[in-house]
Structure 1
Amino acid sequence: MYNVLTNEAYTASIADVLKPEYFKDVHIRSVCTIVLNFFSERSALPTLTEIKPYLTTPELKESFKKVLTTISKFEKKYNTDELLQNTETFIKEKAVYKTLVSVIDQCQDGVVDTSQILNKFESACSISLAQSLGHDYFDDVESHVEDLKTIDKFVPSGWDWLDRRLGGGFLENGRALYVFAGRTNVGKSIFLGNIATNIAAQGKTVLLVTLEMSEMVYSKRISSTLTKIPISDIQNKTDELLSKVKEYRSLHPKSKLLIKEFPPATITTSQLNGFIKKLDQSGVNLDVIVVDYINLLHSSQGSNSYERVKHITEQLRALTYTYNVPIITATQLNRSGVTELNPGLETVGESMGLASTADCMMSIWQEEEDAQLGIIRLGMMKNRFGPNFGAIGMRIDYSTLTLSEDEEINDTEEFSEINRTLSQLADP
């Protein structure tokens, strides 16, 4: 309470999350209410002169005297980091307790809104008083120069064209969200499955979160891609499958691919975070996370699809910071994007908030006869790490759900003209 009364920077950092009812002492609670209300109105702490008009009753005057007497006995020297850490713990514990009491009261009254309850607990647990002052550009330019000398490490996608566009692949240390966008049934899951397989082949540990297909259905797809046994024949060739997977395992002893299924629209990013944390605590060090797909995550926040998807995207991207791994996912195109060649950001379904939050967005589409020819197109919609234009035709083997680059497709005059036009449009 001493710092609430005297330290403006401290009060500013907690004003939005500290509630007077968190204090048991009635005198502290009364004074805290006055100070926080004053700060909310004026963005400053009250002086002794300014606070007097708020002490309108004998009880308030007595409370103020008692609080001043109590804090005058406090040791004035303290460690700021420890103060903030202890304050954050105090506020979180009180917020969780108050939420629990509120939920119990609602249950007793027969009013139970599980989404609202989940939202309250998530808000209480996500309180943070992080106080980094950021990077002082002029005073600490040396660290900036050292950072420029540091060579970023990448996790290759397995496709040269995409890796070149991304500057080398997916950022190994995370802090980036990559999104593939396409219409229904165009092949978004095929792209995500191939990327997961390509990355695992590099001796990496990949978590593939499926919200649309079961773990066994996804495993069947992965098996066909890995072994090149047609997916329609795989149930009849289990001995061959087992032999090829064992051979693959012997050649890639460090590879790990975890497939985790959750029912669609039931798991929040907070719950996904909890699952990843369990893996981390069990000794599983993830290199990449693939989510199929982002729109099927649940959010208790937002009154419409725009707000919900935007919140999900922001929270999913935040996980790339928490675990220092890239996250790769997919989204739907809206109706206007279904028939477009190389769709743009305006065709992203449900939420432009997703497009503005993602670091990279790639479009997936097919022209009229592409499916029969075994061709699928990949274009760059948004890219914070390189060119945000260009497209490539890829070969798709529908029998094994395998994607590969094919120079013959991209050497055609028509496709080269598309890329030249896109390049010209991107020039300032």
Structure 2
Amino acid sequence: MSPDNVNFGRYGKSFQEGLVQLIFEDRPFADQITEVLDVGFLELEYLRVFITKILDYRDRYNKHPSVDAVTTILRTELEGEDGVIQKQVRDYFVRIHTREIQDIEYIKEASLDFCRKQNLKEAMLKSVGLLQSCSFDEISSTINEALKLGSDNNFGYEYITDFEKRYEIKHRNPVTTGWKDIDGIVGGGLGKSELGVVIAPTGAGKSMVLVHLGSNAVIEGKVVVHYTLELQDTVIANRYDSCITGYPLSDLRTFKDEIYEQIKDIDGKLIIKEYPTKSATTNTIRSHLSRLVKRGIKPGLIIVDYADLLRPVIVRKEKRDELGSIYEELRAISTEFQCPIWTASQTNRAGLSAEVITMEQISEAFNKCFVADFIFSVSRTIEDKQNNKGKIFIAKNRNGPDGMVFNIFMDTSNVSIKILPRSPVTNGIIPGTPVALTATMQKGLLKNKYEKFRRN
């Protein structure tokens, strides 16, 4: 075994297990680090045995092993190992199927740095011996070759080499919306690296909807980071109190003790960060999230209330271009931090009187729609507000069907938003839950609107 200063012993067991898991799961990283990795750098015997099997397969067949191949290898090719080591190797292989690696970038950077330095050290020692017998060019070549090894060689997804990767089950880790009907059509909720947008006119309750989404994530045990660019952080916190406990916003002070008793044992965590309107950019949000991660707080859901109120990083001639870039940057943040982001967008004037709001009513920049994974609108006429009713229209859904309408109950006094039960189609009128907008139904809806217009 290598002495402590030339193995990964100082990094600990968790680091070494994560490194070996990355080499198995990430083929481009395996290509890169195996150029400089010495199996002896691994302090733990069962990890050395496991990684040796991976490397032997790569050398023999000139490709990266699949899960099935490794399963067979560990079942049939461990006879020569000690019984305890066999069990440790197989137990480790079972564990990594369900374990999500933390600090991936750190493990990659630290392990590559360590291995490359060891290779460079070897090359320098070899060069000392070559000083008397070889030319300068040969010594230079030895050093340069060592510097090249382990450098980034990921040129992209290789169609044949990475064949198995595209058939692996992708874990979206969706975060519930709190509405079973909508979760059912979006694959359980908004998944990691996905951007969801709520479209609604002013006064329809965009912020209330975002609080509803955040509350259900907190109850589910997620870490929710809620950015507010319009309302005070305490106002948002009061809305969470009301949404989670059911107490009316007007009576929160009266039931303060009861509210605390209900929320104190919630598994999730809520962080509300307030920025003045148009003062924060997406870089501001990225910086704040990075500081949270450094403190061990990993967000499970990010809410931006709302994206239209962010200041653009780059000032552009057209406002729609600025807004479009903001949504693209939010999408990038969701990918960078591997968690979903919910935000909202205001409709144009036509959305104020629309019974069902579609993407045609989205304000300013239609290219907001291009980068979003899930978009739904909330429409509430004056009559709807008086009766605590409204409609949700699924405008875009990358994980299932769209073009569906849901009738909702929405009581803003206690931030209660529910999907109402299904109702049958009658007289060609589109029901509230959930029905695809077929051509026949659209014709029926337009006909009814026209008749109503003529009567008025």
For the superposition of Structure 1 and Structure 2, which TM-score range results when normalised by the shorter chain? 0.5 to 0.7
Say whether residues 1:137 and 2:159 are aligned partners: yes
What is the deviation of 1:83?
Answer: 5.7
Match of 2:281 in 1: 268
Could you tell me how far 1:358 is from its partner in structure 2?
A: 1.2
Q: Deviations over 1:118-171 (max 9, x none)?
A: xxxxxxxxxxxxx743222233212222x1x44543211110121112121111
> 1:184 corresponds to which residue?
202
- The structure 1 residue matched to 2:317, chosen from 303, 319, 331, is 303
Q: Secondary structure at the match of 2:249?
A: coil
Q: 2-side partners of 1:241 and 1:387: how far apart?
A: 42
- Counterpart contact for 1:223–1:241, Cα < 8 Å: no
- Give the aligned partner of residue 336 of structure 1: 350
TM alignment of 1:315-394, pairs within 5 A: 315-394=329-408
Distance 1:331 1:399, change over 3 A: same
Deviations 1:25-44 (A, max 9, x none): xxxxxxxxxxxxxxxxxxxx
What do residues 192-245 of structure 1 show as CA deviations (whole Å, max 9, x unaligned)?
00110011001111011100100111112222222222212223x0xx222332
- Show the counterpart of 1:112: none
Task: Give the Cα separation in 2 of the matches to 1:245 and 1:298.
Answer: 36
Contact 1:363-1:380 at 8 Å conserved across structures: yes
Residue matched to 1:246: 261
Q: Deviations over 1:251-298 (max 9, x none)?
A: x2x221111101111111111100001111111121000110000111
The offset of 1:411, in angstroms, is 5.1
The total of aligned residue pairs comes to 302
Counterpart of 1:4 in structure 2 is none
Which amino acid in the other structure matches residue 247 of structure 1?
Q
Q: 1:395 to 1:420 in 2, by over 3 A?
A: closer
Check the 8 A contact 1:229/1:241 in 2, yes or no. no
For the residue of structure 1 that corresponds to 2:264, the secondary structure is helix
**Aligned match of 1:155:** 175
Using the alignment, how far apart are the partners of 1:233 and 1:310 within structure 2?
Answer: 40
* Conserved? CA contact 1:212–1:264, under 8 Å: yes
Question: Could you tell me which residue of structure 1 aligns to residue 414 of structure 2?
Answer: 400
Aligned to 2:188: 168
Task: Assess, with a 3 A threshold, how the Cα gap between structure 1 residues 283 and 425 changes in structure 2: closer, same or farther.
Answer: farther
SS of 2:396's partner is: strand
Contact 2:407 2:432 in 1 (8 A): no
Alignment of 1:2-151 (within 5 A): 75=141, 76-80=144-148, 132-145=154-167, 147=168, 149-150=169-170
Question: Is contact 1:227–1:241 with CA below 8 Å preserved after alignment?
Answer: no
Residue 376 of structure 1 aligns to a residue whose secondary structure is: strand
Letter in 1 for 2:251: D
Question: In structure 2, the residue corresponding to 1:407 is in which secondary structure?
Answer: coil
Report the Cα distance in structure 2 between the residues aligned to 1:284 and 1:420, rounded to whole angstroms: 40
TM-score (norm 2): 0.61
For residues 368 and 167 of structure 1, the distance between their equivalents in structure 2, rounded to whole angstroms, comes to: 33
Unpaired runs of 5+ in structure 1?
Answer: 1-69, 85-130
Q: What SS does the corresponding residue of 1:197 show, helix, strand or coil?
A: helix
For the structure 1 residues 72 and 304, does the alpha-carbon distance in structure 2 shift closer, same or farther, using more than 3 Å as the test?
A: farther
Deviates more, 1:413-422 or 1:381-390: 413-422
Give the 3-state SS of the residue equivalent to 1:170 in structure 2: coil
| 1:212 matched to 2:230 | yes
Cα RMSD, aligned residues only: 2.7
The code of the aligned residue for 2:364 comes to E
One-letter amino acid of the structure 2 residue matched with residue 292 of structure 1:
D
Distance, in Å, in 2 between the alignment partners of 1:388 and 1:403 is: 20
Is the CA contact (8 Å cut-off) linking 2:406 and 2:433 kept in structure 1? Answer: no
- The aligned amino acid for 1:374 is N
1:277-296 matches, within 5 Å, as 277-296=290-309
**How does the TM-score come out when normalised to structure 1?**
0.65
State the secondary structure of the residue aligned to 2:230. Answer: coil
Rounded Cα–Cα distance in structure 2 between residues aligned with 1:349 and 1:425: 28
Displacement of 1:80 in angstroms is 4.7
Shift of 1:313: 0.8
What is the CA–CA distance in structure 2 between the aligned matches of 1:152 and 1:306, rounded to whole Å?
A: 31
- Stretches of structure 2 lacking an aligned partner (at least 5 in a row): 1-135, 443-456
CA deviations over 1:297-350 (Å, ceiling 9, x no partner): 111312221111111111111011111000000001112333223222222111
Distance (Å, rounded) in 1 between the aligned partners of 2:180 and 2:321:
35
What is the CA–CA distance in structure 2 between the aligned matches of 1:396 and 1:204, rounded to whole Å? 24
1:222 aligned residue: 240
In structure 2, distance between residues paired with 1:423 and 1:132: 46
Q: Please name the residue that 2:112 is paired with.
A: none
Assess, with a 3 A threshold, how the Cα gap between structure 1 residues 312 and 80 changes in structure 2: closer, same or farther.
farther
Distance change (3 Å), C-alpha of 1:231 and 1:71: farther
Looking at structure 1, the residues matched to 327 and 292 of structure 2 have their Cα atoms a distance apart, in angstroms, of: 22
